[in-house]
């Protein structure tokens, strides 16, 4: 089974935009389509509460004719056009789709951050983890989110194995970002966020990339969009993950980043697993 996950930073811009960046994003979408994965997880869709428009669906149908689309948007009282997630999966599959509330603080449960697909023998779930924000103003709430999310994955794992992907907004270890010494108090690399990710793995989950590449350096999934040289210099962070229940670890065939060319921001990540 081949699965791809990507924080796309606006599905509307990707599907209908005319800027150079939109064209770069569409090029990556075509690359994903050419691979014909079984499941595609997309984060930060930034859609309205009504979801994809007719135009969006038309473009998706053209790009991914063999896929079913499900989505979840931010709804009141959360901000409009914020966060959001989406799945595309091959129509031959008929998973049960759920949109869980995990008891998260503030408006986090209303921001469209989790979708779960239940297959006969396993779960596939995606997350767009809340960013702790500038000045770490959301760090306290983020820690509660991390606890609730870990508990949610554990409940799934008690039923059947779990494959979880998404933008987790944390670089787990110093090896996972280019400049750890300068980012100790930055969102995504605080002690608190890293400790919670350690707890998540300790709860029965394997970081598929590190499982296969324990010592690999310079492997990142995100480069700052506003820093023109970030990708040229490979000054990146690995904050996007494919996690699997520990009992699936030996079935991982590959876990890689997909080359997104000159486009800065997140790059898609791919998991190949024998299920």
3-class SS at 196?
helix
Give the active site residue among 9, 110, 157, 167. 167
265 is catalytic: no
Cα-based distances in Å from 179 to 17, 171, 174, 215, 237 = 33, 11, 8, 16, 9
274 is catalytic: no
- Round to whole Å and give the CA distance between 247 and 273: 12
Give the active site residue among 67, 87, 128, 152. 128
Dihedral (Cα; 82, 61, 24, 27), 10-degree rounding: 140
Beta-carbon-side half-sphere exposure of residue 155 (alpha carbons within 13 Å): 10
Cα-based distances in Å from 45 to 2, 8, 68, 111, 255 = 22, 7, 16, 11, 23
Helix runs in the chain, H state only: 11-16, 20-35, 54-63, 139-159, 191-202, 208-212
Residue whose entry in the numeric block shows the structure tokens 């990556």: 28
Reference 113, options 179, 45, 175, 53; nearest CA is 45
Catalytic residues: 128, 167
């Amino acid at each position: 089974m081949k699965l791809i996950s990507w924080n796309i930073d606006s599905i509307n811009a990707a599907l209908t935009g005319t800027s150079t960046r939109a064209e770069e994003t569409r090029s990556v979408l075509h690359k994903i389509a050419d691979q014909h994965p079984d499941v595609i997880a997309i984060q930060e869709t930034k859609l309205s509460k009504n979801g994809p428009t007719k135009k969006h669906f038309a473009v998706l149908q053209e790009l991914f004719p063999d896929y079913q689309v499900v989505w979840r948007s931010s709804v009141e009282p959360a901000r409009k056009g914020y966060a959001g997630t989406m799945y595309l999966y091959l129509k031959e599959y008929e998973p049960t789709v759920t949109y869980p509330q995990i008891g998260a603080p503030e408006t986090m449960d209303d921001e469209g951050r989790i979708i779960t697909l239940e297959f006969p023998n396993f779960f596939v779930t995606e997350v767009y983890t809340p960013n702790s924000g500038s000045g770490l103003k959301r760090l306290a709430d983020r820690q509660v989110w991390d606890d609730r999310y870990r508990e949610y994955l554990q409940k799934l794992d008690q039923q059947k194995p779990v494959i979880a992907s998404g933008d987790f907004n944390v670089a787990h270890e110093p090896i996972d970002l280019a400049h750890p010494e300068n980012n100790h108090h930055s969102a995504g690399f605080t002690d608190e966020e890293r400790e919670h990710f350690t707890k998540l793995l300790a709860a029965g989950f394997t970081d598929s990339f590190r499982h296969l590449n324990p010592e690999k350096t310079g492997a990142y999934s995100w480069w700052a969009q506003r820093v023109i040289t970030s990708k040229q210099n490979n000054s990146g962070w690995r904050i996007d993950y494919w996690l699997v229940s520990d009992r699936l670890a030996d079935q991982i065939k590959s876990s890689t980043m997909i080359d997104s060319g000159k486009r800065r921001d997140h790059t898609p990540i791919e998991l190949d697993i024998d299920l």
